[in-house]
Amino acid sequence: MKKDIKINYEHFKGRNELNEVENSLFEKAILARENAYAPYSSFFVGCAVLLENGEIFTGNNQENAAFPSGLCAERTALFWIGANFPHEKIKKIFVVGGPKEFSEKNPPIPPCGACRQSIIEYETKQNENIELYFSNLNDEVIKVSSIKDLLPFYFDGTFL
């Protein structure tokens, strides 16, 4: 039997459509992106994470000549939060990415597969969805209410 999967998401054509909190996360992700270390790919990604206590933490991608020893922006931020705030719930994640040199052609940049799997782990751990926003440098934003929208056949601890 053939079945279809429907993905629910919101599309914002510009930052002016975002609320104050979302705009703040967007700005912090852009600033984090500027400090990314990406000398090999020239693909810079920044991430801002909002915790339930209102604090915002950021991360950016960190490359390494010994591939795959680097780390994505999302996991850089999430793992630091997991190590320092293990009981604090994550409410929102905002990702901004693209080539170092601006290009109007780039679509919003979603998390890679490894980052999606890591976000699933945190959603499962806290038993609560994490809103995910991803964007390009043109201020175009996609929002999903859970990483499960981007990874419907996810793997978690219930399989072990």
DSSP H/E element including 91: strand 90-99
Q: How far apart are CA 141 and CA 135, in angstroms?
A: 4
Q: Two tokens at 127?
A: 């038993």
Q: How far apart are CA 135 and CA 12, in angstroms?
A: 9
Instruction: Report which of 118, 125, 121, 116 is spatially closest to residue 147, judged by C-alpha positions.
Output: 116
**What is the side-by-side strand order in the sheet with 43-51?**
10-12, 141-144, 131-135, 90-99, 43-51, 56-60
Q: Which active-site residues does the annotation give?
A: 74
